[in-house]
Amino acid sequence: MVSLAEAARRLKTSRTVVDREYGPGMRFKFSLAAGDAIECNSKDGGRGVYIMRKASQLSSGQLQIGFAPANDARRAKDMQSSRAWLWANPETLRAHKPRKVLLSPLGEVSEAHD
């Protein structure tokens, strides 16, 4: 996770905000920011499109990411209480086989090529 302060520091020193190099055996999948869309396995066994709405670091240091279904306009609190909300950390997200997508104004889904 890159904070705004860290992103500003990286830009100030002519580095990229998104570091795609993590060492041998590691591969960059995609960047993710609030408002970005992903397609992944959903709870019902199909594939669904979700919008990243929240990210926070737990006291344990683990990153938690909150996703809302793309076709659900309710408040986050209401989605969370109805279990429509998807909480994931990077490892559990990987198990959902995500891919970053773009949504057109008409709702058409295409690959983001991030």
The pLDDT, as a whole number, for residue 1 is 61
Residue 82 reports pLDDT greater than 70: yes
**Cα torsion for 18, 62, 113, 45, to the nearest 10°?**
180
Residue 21 reports pLDDT greater than 80: no
Residue 30 reports pLDDT greater than 80: yes
| More confidently predicted of 61 and 40 | 40
Interatomic CA distance for residues 38 and 47, integer angstroms: 10
pTM: predicted TM-score of the whole model, two decimal places: 0.79
Secondary structure E strands in the chain = 37-41, 47-57, 63-69, 86-88, 99-103, 109-111
The pLDDT, as a whole number, for residue 40 is 93
Residue extents of the structural domains in the chain? 30-111
For the chain, percent of residues with pLDDT exceeding 90: 25
| More confidently predicted of 74 and 6 | 74
CATH of segment(s) 30-111: 2.30.30
